[in-house]
Protein backbone atom coordinates (compact mmCIF):
# COMPACT_ATOMS: atom_id res chain seq x y z
CA UNK A 1 0.00 0.00 0.00
CA UNK A 2 1.41 3.39 -1.01
CA UNK A 3 1.07 5.94 1.77
CA UNK A 4 -0.41 9.19 0.40
CA UNK A 5 2.28 11.86 0.62
CA UNK A 6 0.03 14.31 2.47
CA UNK A 7 -0.62 11.92 5.39
CA UNK A 8 2.21 12.69 7.81
CA UNK A 9 2.63 12.57 11.58
CA UNK A 10 1.52 15.80 13.32
CA UNK A 11 -0.37 16.98 10.22
CA UNK A 12 -3.73 18.57 11.16
CA UNK A 13 -6.74 16.68 9.81
CA UNK A 14 -10.45 17.52 9.89
CA UNK A 15 -12.93 14.63 10.05
CA UNK A 16 -16.70 14.56 9.88
CA UNK A 17 -19.70 12.27 9.51
CA UNK A 18 -23.19 13.25 8.29
CA UNK A 19 -25.19 15.16 10.90
CA UNK A 20 -22.19 15.88 13.12
CA UNK A 21 -19.94 18.90 13.48
CA UNK A 22 -16.56 18.57 11.81
CA UNK A 23 -13.73 17.92 14.25
CA UNK A 24 -10.13 19.07 13.84
CA UNK A 25 -7.48 16.69 15.19
CA UNK A 26 -3.93 15.45 14.45
CA UNK A 27 -2.38 12.49 12.69
CA UNK A 28 -0.39 10.55 15.32
CA UNK A 29 0.94 7.47 13.54
CA UNK A 30 1.43 6.11 10.01
CA UNK A 31 1.75 2.41 9.24
CA UNK A 32 1.75 0.11 6.23
CA UNK A 33 -2.04 -0.22 5.95
CA UNK A 34 -3.47 2.49 8.18
CA UNK A 35 -2.85 5.73 10.02
CA UNK A 36 -3.94 6.87 13.46
CA UNK A 37 -5.56 10.11 14.50
CA UNK A 38 -6.02 11.52 17.97
CA UNK A 39 -9.55 10.62 19.10
CA UNK A 40 -11.71 13.68 19.88
CA UNK A 41 -12.24 14.35 23.57
CA UNK A 42 -15.42 13.26 25.28
CA UNK A 43 -18.33 12.39 23.00
CA UNK A 44 -17.70 15.01 20.32
CA UNK A 45 -17.47 12.30 17.67
CA UNK A 46 -17.93 8.59 18.41
CA UNK A 47 -16.87 6.24 15.63
CA UNK A 48 -17.29 2.51 15.22
CA UNK A 49 -15.43 -0.09 13.20
CA UNK A 50 -16.37 0.18 9.51
CA UNK A 51 -17.71 3.74 9.78
CA UNK A 52 -16.81 6.06 6.92
CA UNK A 53 -15.54 9.56 7.64
CA UNK A 54 -14.95 12.52 5.35
CA UNK A 55 -11.45 13.83 5.93
CA UNK A 56 -9.48 16.89 4.88
CA UNK A 57 -5.72 17.48 5.19
CA UNK A 58 -4.26 20.87 4.36
CA UNK A 59 -0.69 21.56 3.32
CA UNK A 60 0.99 24.77 2.18
CA UNK A 61 0.11 24.35 -1.49
CA UNK A 62 -3.11 22.39 -1.50
CA UNK A 63 -6.01 20.81 0.35
CA UNK A 64 -6.64 17.07 0.11
CA UNK A 65 -10.14 15.63 0.58
CA UNK A 66 -10.90 11.92 0.87
CA UNK A 67 -13.12 9.26 2.47
CA UNK A 68 -11.55 6.90 5.03
CA UNK A 69 -12.85 3.78 6.78
CA UNK A 70 -12.45 3.30 10.55
CA UNK A 71 -10.50 0.12 11.31
CA UNK A 72 -10.45 0.21 15.11
CA UNK A 73 -10.38 2.30 18.25
CA UNK A 74 -7.49 2.09 20.72
CA UNK A 75 -8.31 3.40 24.24
CA UNK A 76 -4.68 4.18 24.89
CA UNK A 77 -3.11 7.34 26.27
CA UNK A 78 -3.82 9.24 24.14
CA UNK A 79 -6.82 7.40 22.62
CA UNK A 80 -6.56 6.78 18.87
CA UNK A 81 -8.75 5.96 15.90
CA UNK A 82 -7.05 3.91 13.17
CA UNK A 83 -8.20 4.67 9.62
CA UNK A 84 -7.48 2.85 6.37
CA UNK A 85 -5.60 4.79 3.73
CA UNK A 86 -7.92 6.12 1.03
CA UNK A 87 -8.01 4.53 -2.42
CA UNK A 88 -8.57 7.93 -3.97
CA UNK A 89 -8.49 11.59 -3.00
CA UNK A 90 -9.23 15.03 -4.41
CA UNK A 91 -6.50 17.66 -4.53
CA UNK A 92 -7.59 21.30 -4.42
CA UNK A 93 -4.86 23.79 -5.27
CA UNK A 94 -5.39 26.53 -2.70
CA UNK A 95 -3.03 28.93 -4.46
CA UNK A 96 -4.22 28.24 -7.98
CA UNK A 97 -6.16 31.51 -8.30
CA UNK A 98 -3.40 33.80 -7.06
CA UNK A 99 -2.35 35.58 -10.24
CA UNK A 100 0.37 37.86 -11.44
CA UNK A 101 0.64 40.24 -14.36
CA UNK A 102 2.90 38.77 -17.02
CA UNK A 103 3.27 39.45 -20.74
CA UNK A 104 4.09 35.98 -22.05
CA UNK A 105 3.98 35.09 -25.73
CA UNK A 106 2.26 31.86 -26.69
CA UNK A 107 0.99 29.97 -29.71
CA UNK A 108 -2.58 28.76 -29.94
CA UNK A 109 -5.32 27.36 -32.12
CA UNK A 110 -9.03 26.60 -31.71
CA UNK A 111 -9.54 23.06 -30.40
CA UNK A 112 -12.57 21.40 -32.09
CA UNK A 113 -14.81 19.47 -29.70
CA UNK A 114 -14.50 16.36 -31.88
CA UNK A 115 -10.71 16.32 -31.29
CA UNK A 116 -10.74 17.05 -27.55
CA UNK A 117 -8.80 15.81 -25.62
CA UNK A 118 -6.75 13.34 -27.67
CA UNK A 119 -5.90 15.28 -30.84
CA UNK A 120 -4.59 18.78 -30.18
CA UNK A 121 -4.41 21.07 -33.22
CA UNK A 122 -1.26 22.71 -34.57
CA UNK A 123 -0.88 26.07 -32.76
CA UNK A 124 -0.36 28.44 -35.71
CA UNK A 125 -1.60 31.70 -34.15
CA UNK A 126 0.14 33.99 -31.67
CA UNK A 127 -1.14 35.68 -28.55
CA UNK A 128 0.05 37.44 -25.40
CA UNK A 129 -0.95 36.95 -21.78
CA UNK A 130 -1.91 39.88 -19.56
CA UNK A 131 -1.86 37.87 -16.36
CA UNK A 132 -1.83 34.21 -15.36
CA UNK A 133 -2.71 31.91 -12.46
CA UNK A 134 -2.85 28.18 -11.90
CA UNK A 135 -6.51 28.25 -12.87
CA UNK A 136 -6.52 30.45 -15.96
CA UNK A 137 -5.26 33.58 -17.67
CA UNK A 138 -6.16 36.85 -19.35
CA UNK A 139 -5.09 36.88 -23.01
CA UNK A 140 -4.82 39.36 -25.85
CA UNK A 141 -5.70 37.88 -29.26
CA UNK A 142 -5.88 39.34 -32.74
CA UNK A 143 -8.68 37.05 -33.88
CA UNK A 144 -12.15 37.03 -32.36
CA UNK A 145 -13.25 34.05 -30.26
CA UNK A 146 -16.55 33.31 -28.54
CA UNK A 147 -17.47 32.44 -24.97
CA UNK A 148 -17.45 28.66 -24.67
CA UNK A 149 -14.74 28.09 -27.32
CA UNK A 150 -11.90 25.76 -26.39
CA UNK A 151 -8.35 26.84 -27.25
CA UNK A 152 -5.12 24.86 -27.36
CA UNK A 153 -2.15 26.82 -25.96
CA UNK A 154 1.58 26.18 -26.04
CA UNK A 155 3.26 28.43 -23.50
CA UNK A 156 6.84 28.71 -22.29
CA UNK A 157 7.35 30.00 -18.77
CA UNK A 158 10.42 32.21 -18.21
CA UNK A 159 13.42 30.14 -17.20
CA UNK A 160 12.10 27.07 -19.01
CA UNK A 161 13.22 27.83 -22.59
CA UNK A 162 15.13 24.57 -22.90
CA UNK A 163 12.19 22.50 -21.69
CA UNK A 164 8.98 21.46 -23.36
CA UNK A 165 6.25 24.11 -23.45
CA UNK A 166 3.18 23.86 -21.28
CA UNK A 167 0.46 22.39 -23.47
CA UNK A 168 -2.86 23.60 -22.11
CA UNK A 169 -6.54 23.50 -22.92
CA UNK A 170 -8.26 26.82 -22.17
CA UNK A 171 -12.01 27.46 -22.14
CA UNK A 172 -13.08 30.98 -23.10
CA UNK A 173 -15.09 32.59 -20.29
CA UNK A 174 -15.09 36.30 -21.24
CA UNK A 175 -14.41 38.34 -24.37
CA UNK A 176 -14.04 42.11 -24.65
CA UNK A 177 -13.00 44.23 -27.63
CA UNK A 178 -10.06 46.55 -27.00
CA UNK A 179 -8.19 49.09 -29.13
CA UNK A 180 -4.43 48.69 -28.63
CA UNK A 181 -1.99 50.92 -30.54
CA UNK A 182 -4.75 51.79 -33.02
CA UNK A 183 -5.61 48.13 -33.72
CA UNK A 184 -8.65 46.16 -32.66
CA UNK A 185 -7.76 43.33 -30.30
CA UNK A 186 -9.69 40.90 -28.11
CA UNK A 187 -9.11 40.62 -24.38
CA UNK A 188 -10.06 37.08 -23.45
CA UNK A 189 -10.44 35.46 -20.04
CA UNK A 190 -9.86 31.69 -20.06
CA UNK A 191 -10.01 28.88 -17.52
CA UNK A 192 -7.67 25.93 -17.94
CA UNK A 193 -9.34 22.55 -18.46
CA UNK A 194 -7.80 19.17 -17.75
CA UNK A 195 -4.65 20.79 -16.40
CA UNK A 196 -2.34 18.30 -14.72
CA UNK A 197 -1.13 18.64 -11.15
CA UNK A 198 2.43 19.13 -12.40
CA UNK A 199 1.44 21.85 -14.88
CA UNK A 200 -0.57 23.69 -12.23
CA UNK A 201 2.34 23.51 -9.79
CA UNK A 202 4.72 24.92 -12.42
CA UNK A 203 2.44 27.89 -13.10
CA UNK A 204 1.84 28.55 -9.39
CA UNK A 205 5.61 28.42 -8.75
CA UNK A 206 6.14 30.98 -11.53
CA UNK A 207 3.39 33.23 -10.12
CA UNK A 208 4.86 33.28 -6.63
CA UNK A 209 8.39 33.79 -7.93
CA UNK A 210 7.17 36.80 -9.92
CA UNK A 211 5.30 38.19 -6.90
CA UNK A 212 8.43 37.75 -4.76
CA UNK A 213 10.54 39.62 -7.32
CA UNK A 214 8.00 42.47 -7.42
CA UNK A 215 8.05 42.71 -3.63
CA UNK A 216 11.85 42.88 -3.61
CA UNK A 217 11.82 45.68 -6.17
CA UNK A 218 9.41 47.73 -4.06
CA UNK A 219 11.43 47.32 -0.85
Average pLDDT over residues 100-113: 95
Is the N-terminal amide bond of 78 cis, ω within 30° of 0?
yes
pLDDT in tens, 122-154: 999 999 999 999 889 999 999 999 999 999 999
pLDDT in tens, 38-51: 998 766 778 999 99
Backbone dihedral region of 20: left (phi > 0), alpha (psi from -120 to 50 degrees) or beta?
A: beta
Q: Are residues 77 and 111 in the same domain?
A: no
Q: Are residues 149 and 167 in the same domain?
A: yes
Indicate which CATH number applies to the domain containing 79.
2.30.110.10
Report residue 88: phi and psi, to 5°.
-150, 160
Domain for residue 200, yes or no?
A: yes
Q: Are residues 130 and 169 in the same domain?
A: yes
Domain boundary among 93, 115, 136: 93
Domain for residue 59, yes or no?
A: yes
Expressed as residue numbers, the domain containing 86 is 12-93
Q: Are residues 111 and 197 in the same domain?
A: yes
Q: What is the share, in percent, of the chain residues with pLDDT greater than 70?
A: 93
Q: Are residues 54 and 158 in the same domain?
A: no
Domain boundary among 65, 93, 121: 93
- Supply the mean pLDDT for the chain: 88
Q: Are residues 88 and 119 in the same domain?
A: no
Domain for residue 175, yes or no?
A: yes
- Residue 75 exposed, middle or buried by CB count within 10 Å (0-12, 13-18, 19+): exposed
* Helices and strands per DSSP (H, E), number in the chain: 1, 14
Whether residue 30 contacts residue 10, with contact meaning beta carbons closer than 8 Å, is answered with no
14-27 CB burial, b ≥16 within 10 A, e <16: bbebeeeeebebeb
Side-chain-side CA neighbours of 84 within 13 Å: the count stands at 13
Amino acid sequence: MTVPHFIRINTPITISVPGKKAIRTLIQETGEDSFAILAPAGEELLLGRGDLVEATCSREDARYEFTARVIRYEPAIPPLYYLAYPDDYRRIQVRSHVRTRAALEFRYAPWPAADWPLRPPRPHKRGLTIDISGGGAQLVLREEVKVGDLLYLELYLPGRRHHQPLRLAARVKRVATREIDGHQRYEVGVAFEGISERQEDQIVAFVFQRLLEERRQRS
